[in-house]
Structure 1
Amino acid sequence: MPVNQINQDDINKAVWAACDTFRGVINADTYKDFVLTMLFLKYISDVYKDDYNKLVVQYGGAGNENPELIRAMMSKQRFVLPDGASFWDLYEQRHQPGNGQRVDQALHAIEEANGTKLKNVFQDISFNTDKLGQEKQKNDLLRHLLEDFGKDILNLSTERVGSLDVIGNAYEFLIKHFAAGSGTTAGEYYTPPEVSTLLATLLEPTEGDQICDPCTGSGSLLLKCGAMVRKNSGSKKYALFGQEAIGSTWALAKMNMFLHGEDNHRIEWGDTIRNPLLLDKDGKGLLHFDVVTANPPFSLDKWGHDDASGDPYGRFRRGVPPKTKGDYAFISHMIETLKPETGRMGVVVPHGVLFRASSEGKIRQQLIEENLLDTVIGLPEKLFFGTGIPAAILIFKKHKTDNNVLFIDASREFKSGKNQNQLTPENIQKVIDTYKARDSVDKYAYLASFDEIAENDFNLNIPRYVDTFEEEAEIDLVAVRTERLELQNELQVLEAEMEGHLKELGYGA
């Protein structure tokens, strides 16, 4: 019997409804972590239950139950769900006291049973916290939460979910809605899936690549790159690396890797600029990667300027970025982690990075003089929630075959939405095709030489290179006058008719 696949909208609606349990009790930044952790627990429980039932059908049933064999085969699955630790175990006991303690024990048991895959992931989340109120209130809140996730609509079995990035998509959905309510993003940033797809396609990660996102977020961009390797080569021989500064978001990235079977990964928790943790065996040098890609926080204030000039890894040898704008701090870090021959990099930046002067201008000039910059892609406004400003993608390469820079103006290529614009598959493909052709396209792209960029004082503002000006159609003044006279004549006829009607009704003079 065919299984109806769940869609992301159904998951988002159910997750948003589950948030009602906490509203008015704790703030959104806190209950987001409870909701997403419960989503993770529900997901792995449904997948595990699904796998178990399949084995029962295959090796049991009809009086031939073989629980020992089934248990042995389940122990060889990709992850372990200890007895008593599944969502459904907690759901069955939801009316009993101690919900908070039971959820914490279940998460701890899952973490312990899965070794390094989930090490320390749940250390900063406790469902047995006083933040949820006195014991009775806390127990009731968690009972409601378990019931919300126990509804049929949130059946997250493998067949129902398919290839959806459940955790990543739900995370993005919640961040968007919490930001809309509070006017901020609480310092958290995410990359729209269409932009992740574009970045992963442009960078062409392939078999054997080591891929890094130094601003990992929920891990969706890394997952997209991994999927691109499998699509392009059919191989799972690649490694994912990352670092994330916010503890709860790091935990989501680890959960996301776990759910997608990305066991060959290393995601560190810490501040990439102040304390880079992806280091070589001696701990003295940065690791180097084939692909480096990120959507860093735009123009971050207080990024670590005071210690940058003495950076032990030499990341700021081209110059120290401004104290209140950390864009080039992340760019500089990423450049220094590229492998000398195969290294390629894609980074999302605000447009100010293209033209701001002073220290940023000097860094930009040196990057261009070193022939590292390959492509500048202007994106539409309102793509990134929390900011309406348009962004750009910069592609850097360690080994270029020419000293040109391709400029693509995709700022007018989007599907308009109520609050956010979106890149369509056609918009994405147009960028990709133009990038690969590496040639000028009227009103859309321009291949600039080094000399042209130097003549522009190394200013990369896209309109300096891509002329999108559309000449207005010439106005036929004779035709306009003729149309005006015709309208005047029509108006006189209408006035006469109106005067006649008014006289008939007794309003005439």
Structure 2
Amino acid sequence: MTEETHDIQKQQQAEIQKRLWAIANDLRGNMDPSEFKNYILGFIFYRFLSNKVENYVNKLLKNDGVSYEEAWEDEEFQGELKDALIKDIGYLIEPEYLFSNFIKKINAGEFDIEELQKAINAVENSTVGAESEGDFVGLFADLNLQSPSLGLTVADRGNLVSKILLQLSDIPFEQEDLEIDVLGDAYEYLIGQFAANAGKKAGEFYTPQQVSKLLARIVTLGKDELPKVYDPTMGSGSLLLQVGDAIGKEHVGNFFGQELNRTTYNLARMNMIMHGINYRNFDFKLGDTLEHDMFPGLKADAVVANPPYSAKWDTTDKLDDPRFKKYGKTSPKSKADFAFVEHMLYHLKDDGTMAVVLPHGVLFRGAAEGVIRKYMIEQDNVLDAVIGLPANLFYGTSIPTVVLVFKKNRTNKDIFFIDASKEFEKGKNQNILTDENIDKIVKTYSERKDIEKYAHDADFDEIQENEFNLNIPRYVDTFEEEPPVDIKKVSQELQDINKKIKETESEFLSMVDELQVTDESKDIIEAIKEAFK
């Protein structure tokens, strides 16, 4: 990234954040901060969809000399436009429902919030029966314009939404003009501002962009194309998008993802569409990944995930499930970390690469987890690398995390360890992995050479000697010796300090003797002198 591009990004991010803060101030007092993002991001997405339709239609009608509104009045034109829009971009927004027309109505004092609700519903309805229906159904479920949170009367709700839409209309938006990820940056900013109020849950489905970038760089190393990419706990879809950015979206055949939380499932679909991923090139499912595997036959070239840490799960009959059966033990009911790893390995192609973010406990916890870890290393030989990350990178938790990298059909049995826990940039609320930090990790992993106090290639015998405990300090010694203490120097410094204290005491007592003694102050002065004896 050039310095000029970096400056442009900062400027664009600052402008978006300024607008978002203004919108948040309009919403403040009406709803809990955790709800802000549902409305703000929903309206951002509606504007994006509207702009996309407008730009597409303008290109189609460029040589016809008519506007979208005029063409829509012509029955033949209207039919052709409907077919083209549904086929190519997957949905339809009629001229009267364009975002730009709602802004005109607001400025003219003619805005009707109930009409906006019809417009939003119409987007989803336009896909019914089409190939894109599954990607749009329920997409705006969290954008409830009848909610009392927006106001108790229709007029109050209309006034508040008008303010939000006007603020959003000023944000520079066209993708070709931007050096940033609008929805991702907006989401990260909103979580950063309001996660403290919304509680731990607010950030559980968002992986910071820099962490996503690291995983994406790892799974795309040495790859020219990835026909299938999968994230079983996809959250807002940021990890999948980063994989696309790392290798080039045109080199990814299809994105697959599953998510338990409906709000974030909707956000992930918005994210893909907003980043130019055609509805034909992603397949997302709503549901509990461990309970209901929505892609039973999927074998992916790259698998990435940041699953919920130490989540509870139902272990009933799981040893009959082909994803978990061969390990002989199930992950504890209170810690599903290895269950997610097993699920991901089940869906990884033989020549694929997998990277997952997990808490450090997976490296050394015993009992069933110890059995599973040993099987993966000793029997399957699939664990390729262990990368320790800094603490406090994620919203909602300050714990240090680790990236585990897996590959099948490995010819060697070593495991490469990297301790990157001390290399980060201190942020206001969270620590940040810089591009330089990421470059160093990826280069070190790629070259697979020992670096003192940073990386070590451990052979199988070493792992076995440690009884398959993968705690990073066992393999990468980061101990820093304290510099030797000069006793003579310290002793002299203490003598000098004591001498200075006595000189100061003497000066102070001389000043006390010079004070004019009265009956009232006599006792106080005597007490001061006594204290210095």
Matched, 1:361 2:379: no
TM-score (norm 1): 0.86
Question: Residue 14 of structure 1 contacts residue 153 of structure 1 at CA under 8 Å; is this kept in 2?
Answer: no
Alignment of 1:65-464 (within 5 A): 65-67=65-67, 78=89, 80-94=92-106, 95-96=109-110, 98-99=112-113, 101-113=114-126, 115-117=130-132, 118-122=135-139, 124-125=141-142, 127-132=144-149, 137-151=153-167, 154-158=170-174, 162-185=178-201, 188-204=204-220, 206-230=224-248, 235-263=250-278, 264-279=281-296, 286-301=297-312, 303-311=313-321, 313-318=322-327, 319-340=329-350, 342-369=351-378, 370-464=380-474
Structure 1 residue 328: Cα displacement: 1.0
Structure 1 residue 472: Cα displacement: 0.8
1:450 partner letter: F
Structure 1 residue 436: Cα displacement: 1.2
TM-score (norm 2): 0.82
Structure 1 residue 451: Cα displacement: 1.2
Aligned to 2:479: 469
Question: Residue 215 of structure 1 contacts residue 244 of structure 1 at CA under 8 Å; is this kept in 2?
Answer: yes
**Deviations, residues 304-362 of structure 1 (Å, cap 9, x unaligned):** 32242332x3434212111111111111100100112x121000000111111111111
**1:459 counterpart SS class:** coil
1:15 partner letter: L
Question: Residue 203 of structure 2 contacts residue 395 of structure 2 at CA under 8 Å; is this kept in 1?
Answer: no
Matched, 1:10 2:26: no
- Judging changes above 3 Å, is the alpha-carbon distance between structure 1 residues 66 and 439 closer, same or farther for their aligned structure 2 residues? same
Question: Residue 390 of structure 2 contacts residue 401 of structure 2 at CA under 8 Å; is this kept in 1?
Answer: yes
Question: Residue 208 of structure 1 contacts residue 238 of structure 1 at CA under 8 Å; is this kept in 2?
Answer: yes
Distance 1:305 1:190 in 2: 26
- Judging changes above 3 Å, is the alpha-carbon distance between structure 1 residues 126 and 419 closer, same or farther for their aligned structure 2 residues? closer
Distance 1:153 1:128 in 2: 19
Question: Residue 304 of structure 2 contacts residue 355 of structure 2 at CA under 8 Å; is this kept in 1?
Answer: yes
Matched, 1:36 2:41: yes
1:269 partner letter: L
Structure 1 residue 267: Cα displacement: 1.1
**1:317 counterpart SS class:** helix
Structure 1 residue 157: Cα displacement: 2.9
Question: Residue 11 of structure 1 contacts residue 154 of structure 1 at CA under 8 Å; is this kept in 2?
Answer: no
Question: Residue 388 of structure 2 contacts residue 472 of structure 2 at CA under 8 Å; is this kept in 1?
Answer: yes
Structure 1 residue 45: Cα displacement: 3.1
Question: Residue 304 of structure 2 contacts residue 354 of structure 2 at CA under 8 Å; is this kept in 1?
Answer: yes
Question: Residue 108 of structure 1 contacts residue 122 of structure 1 at CA under 8 Å; is this kept in 2?
Answer: no
Distance 1:82 1:504 in 2: 93
Structure 1 residue 480: Cα displacement: 1.6
Structure 2 unaligned blocks of 5 or more: 1-7, 72-76, 518-524
Structure 1 unaligned blocks of 5 or more: 280-285
Structure 1 residue 224: Cα displacement: 0.7
- Judging changes above 3 Å, is the alpha-carbon distance between structure 1 residues 150 and 48 closer, same or farther for their aligned structure 2 residues? farther
**Deviations, residues 411-430 of structure 1 (Å, cap 9, x unaligned):** 11111123211111121112
- Judging changes above 3 Å, is the alpha-carbon distance between structure 1 residues 50 and 133 closer, same or farther for their aligned structure 2 residues? closer
Query: Larger C-alpha radius of gyration, 1 or 2?
Result: 2
Distance 1:366 1:419 in 2: 39
2:240 partner letter: L
Question: Residue 299 of structure 1 contacts residue 324 of structure 1 at CA under 8 Å; is this kept in 2?
Answer: yes
Question: Residue 377 of structure 1 contacts residue 408 of structure 1 at CA under 8 Å; is this kept in 2?
Answer: yes
Matched positions, count: 487
Distance 2:451 2:70 in 1: 61
Distance 1:339 1:147 in 2: 50
Question: Residue 205 of structure 2 contacts residue 236 of structure 2 at CA under 8 Å; is this kept in 1?
Answer: no
Structure 1 residue 385: Cα displacement: 1.0
Distance 1:327 1:270 in 2: 18
Q: Which moved more, 1:213-222 or 1:68-77?
A: 68-77
Question: Residue 203 of structure 1 contacts residue 345 of structure 1 at CA under 8 Å; is this kept in 2?
Answer: yes
Question: Residue 26 of structure 1 contacts residue 132 of structure 1 at CA under 8 Å; is this kept in 2?
Answer: yes
Q: Which moved more, 1:101-110 or 1:125-134?
A: 125-134
2:96 partner letter: G
1:367 partner letter: M
Question: Residue 205 of structure 2 contacts residue 235 of structure 2 at CA under 8 Å; is this kept in 1?
Answer: yes
RMSD in angstroms over aligned alpha carbons?
Answer: 3.2
More helix by share: 2
Question: Residue 25 of structure 1 contacts residue 132 of structure 1 at CA under 8 Å; is this kept in 2?
Answer: yes
- Judging changes above 3 Å, is the alpha-carbon distance between structure 1 residues 178 and 116 closer, same or farther for their aligned structure 2 residues? farther
Distance 1:193 1:107 in 2: 29
Structure 1 residue 384: Cα displacement: 0.8
1:106 partner letter: A
Distance 1:103 1:197 in 2: 37
1:364 partner letter: R
Aligned to 2:494: 484
**Deviations, residues 218-265 of structure 1 (Å, cap 9, x unaligned):** 11110110111118xxx4452211111111211111111111111211
Structure 1 residue 394: Cα displacement: 0.3
2:356 partner letter: V
Question: Residue 176 of structure 1 contacts residue 185 of structure 1 at CA under 8 Å; is this kept in 2?
Answer: no
- Judging changes above 3 Å, is the alpha-carbon distance between structure 1 residues 133 and 484 closer, same or farther for their aligned structure 2 residues? closer
2:305 partner letter: A
Distance 1:304 1:90 in 2: 48
Distance 2:168 2:308 in 1: 38
